[in-house]
Amino acid sequence: MHPILKVVIQRLALGLLLLLAASVLIFIGTQILPGDVAQAILGQGATEQALTNMRAEMGLDRPAYIRYFEWLYNAVHGDLGVALSNGRDIADSIGQRMGNTLFLASVAAVISVPLAILLGLVAVRYRDRWPDKLISAITLTTISLPEFLLGYVLMYIFAVKLGWFPSVSNINSSMSFWQKLNAVALPAMVLTLVVLAHMMRMTRAAILNVMQSAYIETAELKGLRRLTLIARHAMPNAIAPIVNVVMINLAYLVVGVVVIEVVFVYPGMGQYLVDHVSKRDVPVVQACGLIFATIYIGLNLTADIVSILSNPRLRHPK
């Protein structure tokens, strides 16, 4: 078997093992949540017999390990169950919400990824000079601020004072693409500022590490322009760590948007999860947690595989 294929298969097997472990943790975590969904549905005045009957009707009286394997089997086959709080099919409810979250994450990614790489290249080109210092100072400032604070500051400036964008980012299927883009402008701006610094600084560090190589010094002695040297010779050889940090931040854009969606009342997966945590709707929390874990592990696996494929020692073994 080719070494690169063997390593990829090992990474995929490890990803599946991690996802299985994540599903166990999600199930255990939802079981130890405080409160009782039967009590939440029937109210504080419900009798003990009514609560017992409700728990039996929802299957909450069975052993935990049986419920776990049943839940995992159904989830693998695409059946995420029914929400206990409203009786709606979870997969149908999540479909629209997931689309909204992916739209927001895509807008932020389209802006942040090219901008981070460009700023990283500029920072390398003007290393230790004022452009480099200015870019580092601004990005470090934005990443140091809490997300909710950054969201409220931008909301105050662009929604309240200037009136350029709506403060509540509500979108629906009847809106055009440009209307949706206008609605998500502020949360996308916050997400861009949050992930920009990390990607930019990793791009800068990866390229600077390659710039110390002997072949780069040889190219400099041949008289190549510094910008050409960075773009054509250093950048391709720094692609592996850059892809890693981009994928990690893309995972964050999808999985870590809970705070931003709550701040801007955005109808995405994060808001959906928070709404049902307050109701102790365990099947919904489990489904959202499993989807988030799958996306995060999947994107990290993608980054890992790209890094493997970009390694010439694995592509061309002796």
User: pLDDT per residue over 178-189, tens digit each?
Assistant: 888 888 888 888
Domain for residue 247, yes or no?
Answer: yes
**Distance between CA atoms of residues 12 and 245, nearest Å:** 19
Residue 315 has pLDDT above 60, yes or no: no
Q: Which has more confidence, 202 or 33?
A: 202
**Distance between CA atoms of residues 188 and 106, nearest Å:** 9
**Distance between CA atoms of residues 70 and 77, nearest Å:** 11
Percent of the chain with pLDDT over 90: 0
**Distance between CA atoms of residues 143 and 135, nearest Å:** 12
Residue 316 has pLDDT above 60, yes or no: no
Q: How many CB atoms lie within 10 A of CB 53?
A: 15
Token pair of 44 as six digits: 């504080």
Domain for residue 268, yes or no?
Answer: yes
Q: Which has more confidence, 197 or 217?
A: 197
User: Strand, coil or helix: what is 32?
Assistant: coil
At 62 the pLDDT is 72
Domain for residue 252, yes or no?
Answer: yes
Confidence grade of residue 78 (pLDDT, cut at 50, 70, 90): confident
Question: Number of structural domains, the chain?
Answer: 1
CB contact at 8 A, 98 and 269: yes
Q: How many CB atoms lie within 10 A of CB 229?
A: 18
Q: For residue range 199-232, what is the model confidence (pLDDT) as tens digits?
A: 888 888 877 777 777 766 676 666 667 766 776 6
Domain for residue 57, yes or no?
Answer: no
Give me the phi and psi of 82, to 5 degrees please.
-125, 140
Domain for residue 226, yes or no?
Answer: yes
Domain for residue 257, yes or no?
Answer: yes
At 52 the pLDDT is 72
CB contact at 8 A, 211 and 124: yes
In CATH, what number is assigned to the domain containing residue 138? Answer: 1.10.3720.10
Domain for residue 297, yes or no?
Answer: no
Amino acid symbol at 176:
S
Question: Domain range for residue 125?
Answer: 97-279
Residue 50 has pLDDT above 80, yes or no: no
308 HSE (CA, 13 A, CB side): 17
